[in-house]
Amino acid sequence: MVLFLDSPRVITYNLFLLTDIDECSFERTCDHTCVNYPGNFDCVCQEGYTLYGLTHCGDIDECSINNGAVSTAV
């Protein structure tokens, strides 16, 4: 058996059979929600958070975006 690591993909090759490994089953794969796909995974953050890197969710500072959503129209 040969193990190929191609982050974030982990696939086990066993002669003629490819078996997907559920990366979401590993502890602390993603801060919020992990979605597993064959040979890959995605991390999804809750509302009000944004994804930093592949797995970390950080709080969005709404005040620094679009002037805090405050209208400056007179």
Task: Please tell me whether residue 62 adopts helix, strand or coil conformation.
Answer: helix
Measured CA to CA, the distance from residue 8 to residue 40 in angstroms comes to 6
Q: Where are the domains of the chain?
A: 23-63
Among the listed ranges 3-7, 19-23, 33-37, which one has the minimum average pLDDT value?
A: 3-7
Tell whether the model's pLDDT for residue 2 goes beyond 50. Answer: no
User: 23-63, what's its fold?
Assistant: Laminin (2.10.25)
CA of residue 24 relative to chain centroid, distance: 10
With cut-offs at 50, 70 and 90, classify the pLDDT of residue 64: confident
Compute the mean pLDDT over every residue in the chain, rounded to the nearest whole number. 78
